[in-house]
Each structure stands twice: as structure tokens, then as C-alpha cells.
Amino acid sequence: MFPQCGLLAVVDPIPQFNPLVGGRVMARLWELNEGFFNSTRLNHYETLFTVGNGYLGTRGTFEEGHSGCIASTLIHGIYDHAPGMLVPELANAPNWLPVAITVDGTPFQLVTSTSDFMRPPQGVVIGYERTLDIKRGVLRREVLFRAATGAVVRLVFERFASLYDNHLLAQRVLIVAVDGSPTVRLHAFLDAEVMNSTGQHWTAPARVYSNGHGFGLAAETLQSHYRLGMASRLVGPGAITPLPHPTQPGAVAEFTLKQEEAATFDKLTAVFTSRDTDEPLDAAGAALSGAVSDGYDALLAAHEAEWAAYWRDSDIVIEGDDALQAAIRFTTYHILIAAPRHDERVSIGAKTLSGFGYKGHVFWDTELFVLPVFTFSQPKLARNLLMYRYHNLAGARHKAQANGYEGAMFPWESTDTGEETTPQWSDVQPDGSRIRIWTGDHEQHVSTDIAYAAHQYWRWTGDDAFFTQHGAELILDTAVFWGSRAEDKGSRYEISQQIGPDEYHENIDNSVFVNRMVVWHLQTALDVLGWLKQRAPADAARLESALDLSAARLAHWRDIITRMYIPFDTEQAIHVQFPGFFDMEYIPVQAYQPRITSVQAILGHPRTIQSQVIKQADVVALMALLDDQFDVPPGFDRRTVMLNNWNTYYPRTDHGSSLSPAMHALQAARMGMTGVAYDEFDHAAHIDLEDNKGNARDGIHAAACGGVWQAIVLGFCGLHISPAGELVTRPNLPVHWRRVSFTVHYRGERRTITVGHPEGSPAA
């Protein structure tokens, strides 16, 4: 009855196989491999093995679940601010993964804790391998399982979230009788009993059905009233019967396999929300019918073709460093699966769609760390992300107004409404207290970061249509905000009560990062308006009138540019992160090596914020962003000041944020300090793989993933636009890298660039 297939050799149960002591994942050139089951890292690996398609992300939770698992499917834009919660968050969608299998009555399950050993009847897993095929976006797990009766089956689970049709999710389960003639029960279902770590976001399913091979459900979020429809079908040989359930509708197949016989089942699922259509469940049902008639193999082929195109544009090939080649593919995979492909009203959260960290909120991480990767390699995706901000200008204008300013002041944390969604208080601390979070009030540089990303996109793509209609407005209206925000103190302009990238120092006056970037912003706004007047006068007139870009306002901007206070220590020839910084306690951060936690965690919050310990690149970020435009006061040598800045701030930096190492790598590489650049790059590229921030269970660090891509292209390869408008490289490759190749889109042209060591260098 069932098709034959290749069999694993029947192995003796491996006596030393101890499921509670596992190995570590290995990043290989095109895959992430877990060769030995590791029960101690389950939540970390759930994050790493996430699949996604820019519409949703699903963690690598097992089909059969396990105790303590964090099963989650997060769909872009489906936020909910449920009663009692501090802020809105992405609502964990119903789980499409469950497939429960019993073999001769023994439930198939991995032993994940010692208490699992107590559960009768007992089965034993005697072989295990999990692989994420990064090239094709397919997750596969293969297990040898011996039931209590002694029968051994080989189980192969495969899943992918279709990149071809973002609403389709596919699973395949292969069951092979390796030893004995087991009776197998396979129960596939959808699970609406899902929560976030903070609590419940969905009503009980409004509709639920199980009929024939099909089953589905409709649910609605509690506060935002997004509706979701999910429809599945189990496709396989033999009889399949519906198994109705009020929250877990499903279908069951029961069969007996002769020794060496195999059975293959496909579970196909479609999901829509009311963000896509008025009738999500109907749409899911229709999409599912199409998917079932195409079949798993055709769906897979279409999905693979999309992935091939994705990689053609975004892959970086490093010759001479397989370990980092593997790591950079892994990080690129994760930003590719998070990038919205067909939706310009959503953006990428700080933890992608792979975990509950930061509640799915969007930060500056997107514009400065992730979005540029797409500006260079897949401009269409970058445009989608910029449009998210454009569509949310109303929220930014509202925030400015509510704070007594003009123009558009973007929220530090953003969701679907575009309103400020930063929580004002932290979660409860071990001592029962909550800490006031000031970033939503005072971390205002995000507006400039967005302007920077819009301008960078325009410079690289030459997409004038986008710029005249949308991009210029983003830059100009945020400039209006800063014009109203800068404080005229008589002899100079100042900006008080800020949080720069270094968040250990809150509510400070005259952050050099903020003040200097505001100057950049206002100058860029003036240049943009000048360009519009020449090249798109109707758009210039429209914006002048809509944003009130009067001559007086522009004169005010010029005045701010000329008289802005840029803190600089002429004796040390350095930029001063903010006045008073050096009056605080000096702590030799480097003396705390080796460490796996932040210096802040070691010293405690109160002492750290009264010290010179810096959370992340701040002055260094300023140098990286301004690049050739980074300037120094008259009479000072630019290169000397840059080195002084580096030598001052780098040794004081904690890297308490995952954003820090990649930014340092980029800047160090540009400055020719390849050794330190490589170390920081290596650190950044392994933040999730090695869990070296200790919180990878909460989701992938999107900014680190984007940051390492940029560190290679802009840092080690030194790609930039010359004053003549040519694309040029200024390589500073690590000595053991032979060559690096990547693709960039420059002003409508797709170019493949290969960089080696400069002629005459010892490594050439």
C-alpha cells in the first residue's frame, strides 16, 4: 500500500546515547546542523531553527512539542494590546505545526527533562539529526524511535513557509518501519490554545471545523480585533478521519506498516488575516485547495526557486574562512525571512519574527542595521520598509504635537499604529521593583536614523519616484521636528534631555551623536529641498505648503547648522560623548575579560550609569554613519581625531547591546584596524549561534545580522560611492580572506563585486 523508500540501517540502541547531554549546533556552509539532540538548549535552538517568509515566522519547535517549548508563529502586523498588558505586542498565532505520533501505542516524544523518564509507556529515541537548509529554507528532522514494544521507526519531518506564496505552510512526515511491524497513529491538528509569555491575545475560535481530511479555525485578537483564518489538510495514504475539537481541530490516520514499509503524509496549511482580506478563513480555504491540487513537491519547487533568486542577490561569498562564511549565511537567512516582501505597512522588529523579545516592536535597528542590507542588495524590500515609516507619519506627527514640537517625531518603539509604544516601566525586577524606561521619551535620534536610511536608499538606488513622493517628506518633516526641538542658548544651540545610542547614560544634555547628526539632518533637508525645487518643482511646492517650509524656517535651520554645539575636547583632540562624561568613574572594561555577561550586569545598573562604561557604539557610530563627511574643528587632523576617538571610546565599551560589535567591526575595518575588526565581526556573527548575549531564546538579534553584512561590504570591502558617483571599494580584508564577492544594486544596475587584497599588500 505504501511507497518504498530508502531506509536507515537498523542500529542497536546506542547505549551511551544520553538525551539530556547533547551537542551544539554547527553552522555549515549552507546549513545549520544539530547532530545530537541537546535538551539543554531547546529554547535557544527553537529560535535558530525558525522558518519564515516575510509574512510570518515560526520557531523551530518540534511537531510533537515538548515541555517548556516556546511554540510561536508571529505574523507581521498582527499586534494586540490585550487588557492588563503594558504595551501592544505581536500576538502568537495559532500553531500550525502539531503532528502527534504514537507507535504501537507509545507516544513519540523526545525526552527533554528527567521527569519525562517517569512517563509510561516509555519509548526511546536512538538517533537524531536536525538540519536547517539555509539555501532552500527547509527545516528537516530525522529521528530513530523505538517504541515500548521494541518496534523501531524512522521519522522524518520536513517543513517550510513558502516564499513563493506567503500564505502557504507545508509539512511532510515520512514514517518508515525499520524494525518490526508497528501500528502507527498520526494525529495532525491546529492549536488555538496559544499564548504569549505575557498572556492571552485571542478569543476562543469563532469558527472551527474538521471534516474529511480538512480542518480549520477562525479567531480574533482581543483588543485590536484582527481576524485570522487558518485551514489545513492532511494528505496521505489510507483512511484519514476528522477529529473535531473546540480549539484543536484535526485529522487522524491509523495504519500498520510491515517491516521496511514507509508512509508519507503531507500537512498543508494556509493562513490569512483581516489585514489581507475581509474573509480570512474563506481565503485560507481557497488557497489551501490550490495548494493541495499542486501538491507538496510542486510547492517545494516553487519555494526553492524563490530562495535561489533571494540568494543570488543577497549572498556574500568569503573565500578563505568557512566558519564565518557559514555564520554570515545564517545571519543573512534570518533577515531574509523577516523582510516583508509584499507589504509596505509592516517592518522588521528587533527580534525578527522568531521570538517574543521586544514584543515585535520596531526600533532604529531596522533603519540603520537591517534596511541598508536591502538598499544594497534588494532595493524593493528596502522600499517596503521605508514605506512603513511613511505610512506611519501620522503617528510621528502626533507624537511631536503631544510633546509640544512641530513636524514628525517618530516613536522609539513602533508597531502597527505608528504611535509610541515603548513601555514606560520595565518588567518586575528580582527585588520587586520596576525601572523607569526613558527611551520612549528621550531617545529621539530615531527620527534622524529614518531620514538617514531614506537618503541612503535614494543615493544608492536613484529611485527618484519614491523620493519625490515619499522619501523627501520623511526627511523634511523630521527636520521640521528638529528645527523646533533645538534650543537656542544665545551663543549656541543645544539639545538637552537626550539618550544617544549609549543607553547607559540617560537624559543627558548635548550628546555629540545627536547634535552632530541633527546638523547632518538639517543640511540634508536643505539639500533635498534644493534638489526638489530644481528637479520636481511641483513636489517641492506641495511639500513647502504642506510642511510649511517657509523662508524663515529654512533660515532657522541654517542658523542651527552654523551654531550647533558639538562637544569637542581640544586638548585631547577628541569628540566628547557628552559634557560631563569624563567626570564620572573610570572603569577599565577590558579588565573584565573573559566574561559572558555585560559589565553592567556585573557592576549593577546604578554604578554603571554613574561611570564611563558605554553600552554600545556611540561616537564610533557617529564616525561610521558620517564616513567621509565626518569632520573635525579647524586646525585638527581628521585621521588623528578619529584614532583618538576610537582609542578613547572602544576600551570603555561594554558591548552590552548586540548592536555594538558589528558597528565597531565596520568602523575598525574602514580605519584599517583589521585585527580588531575581525574579532568584533566574529563576535557579532555568533551572537545568536553561540548565544553570547544569553537571550537568543527570545529571538534573533536582527541588528547584529544586518550589521555583519554591512561590516563586510562597507567595512572590510570598503564599498562606497566616490565623489564622481562611481562605486569604488577600499578593501581591508582580514589576512586569511582571499576574496569576497557580493552583489549590489546601484542606480538600477545589478553589479557583482569581487574584492581581494590590494596589490602590493603582503596578503595579496
The Cα 606–Cα 168 span in angstroms is: 49
359 lines the binding site for ligand BGC (CB under 6 A): no
Distance CA 610, CA 504 (A): 9
Asked if 463 interacts with ligand BGC (CB under 6 A), we say no
Establish if 326 lies at the interface with ligand BGC (CB under 6 A): no
What is residue 443's three-state secondary structure?
coil
- In the complex with ligand BGC, the residue whose CB is nearer, 138 or 508, is 508
Question: Does residue 478 bind ligand BGC (CB under 6 A)?
Answer: no
Question: For ligand BGC, which is the closer residue by CB, 171 or 657?
Answer: 657
Verify binding: residue 358, ligand BGC, rule CB under 6 A.
yes
How near is the Cβ of 622 to ligand BGC at its closest, in Å? 14
Tell me which H or E stretch contains 417: none
Which amino acid, one-letter code, is at 673? M
In 236-337, beta strands by DSSP E: 240-243, 250-256, 262-273, 316-319
503 in contact with ligand BGC (CB under 6 A): yes
When asked if residue 452 is in the footprint of ligand BGC (CB under 6 A), the reply is no
Closer of 233 and 655 to ligand BGC (Cβ): 655
* Interface stretch with ligand BGC, choices 330-338, 363-371, 704-712, 720-728 (CB under 6 A): 363-371
Query: Does residue 663 belong to the site contacting ligand BGC (CB under 6 A)?
Result: no
Number of residues that bind ligand BGC (CB under 6 A): 12
Asked if residue 324 binds ligand BGC (CB under 6 A), the reply is no
Q: Is 588 exposed, middle or buried (0-12, 13-18, 19+ CB in 10 A)?
A: exposed
653 binding ligand BGC? (CB under 6 A): no
The piece of 168-176, 178-186, 360-368, 645-653 that touches ligand BGC (CB under 6 A) is 360-368
655 binds ligand BGC (CB under 6 A): no
**φ, ψ for residue 152, nearest 5 deg:** -115, 130
Query: Is residue 506 a contact point for ligand BGC (CB under 6 A)?
Result: no
| Cα→Cα distances 250→170, 175, 193, 474, Å | 15, 19, 14, 48
What cell does 176 get?
518508515
**Which residues, 333 to 352, sit near ligand BGC by CB under 6 A?**
350
307 near ligand BGC, rule: CB under 6 A:
no
Q: Which residue in 632, 659, 685, 714 binds ligand BGC (CB under 6 A)?
A: 659
The string of DSSP codes covering 567-632 is -EETTTTEE-SSTTGGGSBP--GGGG-S-SS-HHHHH-HHHHHTBS-BSS-SHHHHHHHHGGG---
Our finding on whether 414 is near ligand BGC (CB under 6 A) is no
Binding range to ligand BGC, per CB under 6 A, among 30-38, 104-112, 361-369, 729-737: 361-369
Q: Find the catalytic residue in 503, 506, 544, 680.
A: 503
Asked whether position 420 contacts ligand BGC by CB under 6 A, the answer is no
Query: CA–CA distance from 631 to each of 130, 624, 635, 663, 713 (Å)?
Result: 51, 12, 11, 19, 23
**Does 513 sit near ligand BGC (CB under 6 A)?**
no
Asked if residue 616 binds ligand BGC (CB under 6 A), the reply is yes
Minimal distance, residue 10 CB to ligand BGC, in Å: 49
We find the least distance from the C-beta atom of residue 671 to ligand BGC, in angstroms, to be 22
Q: Is 503 a catalytic residue?
A: yes
Cα-based angle 708, 712, 714 (whole degrees, multiple of 5): 105
For Cα atoms 493, 497, 498, give the angle at the middle one, nearest 5 degrees: 90
Quote the cell numbers at residue 375. 538598499
Which three-class secondary structure state does DSSP give residue 300?
helix
Rg (CA), the chain: 27
**How are beta strands 183-189 and 250-256 bridged, if at all?**
antiparallel
Report the distance separating Cα 370 and Cα 237, nearest Å.
45
Is there binding between residue 657 and ligand BGC (CB under 6 A)?
yes
> Considering only residues 191, 365, 618, 691, which one is a binding residue for ligand BGC as defined by CB under 6 A?
365
Q: Which stretch binds ligand BGC (CB under 6 A): 170-178, 276-284, 357-365, 723-731?
A: 357-365
Long-range contacts for 628-634 (Cβ within 8 Å, ≥24 apart)? 628/720, 629/520, 632/568, 633/568, 633/570
Shortest distance, CB of residue 368 to ligand BGC, whole angstroms? Answer: 9
Cell of 162: 513558502
Q: Which is nearer to ligand BGC, 406 or 698 (CB)?
A: 698
615 is a site residue for ligand BGC (CB under 6 A): yes
Question: In this complex, which beta carbon is closest to ligand BGC, that of residue 363 or of residue 493?
Answer: 363
Q: Which of 382, 703, 704, 711 binds ligand BGC (CB under 6 A)?
A: 703
Contacts made by residues 584-591, CB under 8 angstroms, sequence distance 24+: 584/610, 584/611, 584/612, 585/610, 585/611, 585/612, 586/611, 586/612, 586/652, 587/611, 587/612, 587/613, 587/652, 588/651, 589/613, 589/651, 589/652, 589/653, 589/654, 590/651
User: Of the two residues 436 and 534, which places its CB atom closer to ligand BGC in the complex?
Assistant: 436
* Nearest distance, CB of residue 615 and ligand BGC, angstroms: 6
232 or 612: CB nearest ligand BGC: 612
In the numeric block, which cell numbers belong to residue 201? Answer: 491575545
Q: Are 699 and 355 in contact (CB under 8 A)?
A: yes
Catalytic residues, which ones? 503
Q: Which residues bind ligand BGC (CB under 6 A)?
A: 350, 358, 363-365, 501, 503, 615-616, 657, 659, 703
